[in-house]
Amino acid sequence: MARVALVTGGTRGIGAAISKALKAADYKVAAIYAGNDEAAHKFNAETGIAIYKWDVSSFDACANGVKKIEANVGPVDVLVNNAGITRDAMFHRMTADQWTAVVNTNLGSLFNMTRQVVEGMRTRKFGRIINISSINGQKGQMGQVNYSAAKAGEIGFTKALAQEGARSGITVNAICPGYINTEMVQAVPKDVLEKSILPLIPIGRLGEPEEIARCVVFLASDEAGLITGSTLTANGGQFMA
């Protein structure tokens, strides 16, 4: 019987690639999105992957949403916490709203989502929780104190929960992408990309969303059962941890 995978932020960018790769690996996939209805419905029409809309920074929305998915698709075996936002500003100019929005969405969502599925995983003695962190959670980034703090928190969350879930057959791992060829990076001015970003990447190119998706598919598999509490760095050698 096909396992059920749930991907937050699963209809665009890295999340869309993850959703499609998991479907290709014979998972039943549910993709969650927050706001871009047009992109989400286009994704659904092209892939046939079920889509659900809610705000992952809300605990109650996550509780209600996961109940709906489990009723429609089945108990969640694989959770990919991918949803994230940026609200960049130098710290001395950062507002409380910019801080709270990023921390609640990028880090708070890990509690909000994982809390809904972890008890079922423990009962069934199987679970895969994969958190999409960031290179900037490992090394920090000027102008992104909020984002870097949240993404570093994802790594701590991963390591602690991995210890709790290990005896119940639940693995918890993080992936830290570097610069990936998504809409957000494509919006960077070409001269900035070529002069300030690419020279820092030893392989000399951006990563592709599908490369991160392949990492997820492996960590979700039975074959990855030995790996838990790990941080998989996927950044072309830009930062070696």
List pLDDT tens digits, range 7-40.
Answer: 999 999 999 999 999 999 999 999 999 989 999 9
Confidence of residue 186 (pLDDT cuts 50, 70, 90): confident
Number of neighbours of residue 222 by Cβ within 10 angstroms: 8
Output the pLDDT for position 173: 99
pLDDT band of 188, cuts 50, 70, 90: confident
Q: Is the pLDDT of residue 185 over 90?
A: no
Beta-carbon contacts of 102 under 8 Å, excluding residues fewer than 6 positions away, are 85, 86, 87, 146, 147, 150
Residues 212/182, Cβ–Cβ less than 8 Å: no
Span 35-53, pLDDT tens digits: 899 999 999 999 999 999 9
Q: Tell me what the mean pLDDT of segment 160-189 comes to.
A: 94
pLDDT tens per residue across span 134-168: 999 999 999 999 999 999 999 999 999 999 999 99
Is the pTM higher than 0.75?
Answer: yes
Catalytic residue among 27, 33, 52, 147: 147
Structure tokens at 12: 């665009």
Phi-psi region of 203 (alpha: psi -120 to 50; beta: other; left: phi over 0): alpha
Say whether 147 is catalytic: yes
Q: For the chain, what is the mean pLDDT?
A: 97
Burial grade of 37 (CB within 10 A; 0-12, 13-18, 19 or more): exposed
Residue 1 has pLDDT above 80, yes or no: no
Give the pLDDT confidence of 66-107 residue by residue, as tens digits: 999 999 999 999 999 999 999 999 999 999 999 999 999 999
In whole angstroms, give the CA distance from residue 20 to residue 134.
21
Specify burial of residue 157 (Cβ count, 10 A radius: 0-12, 13-18, 19+). buried
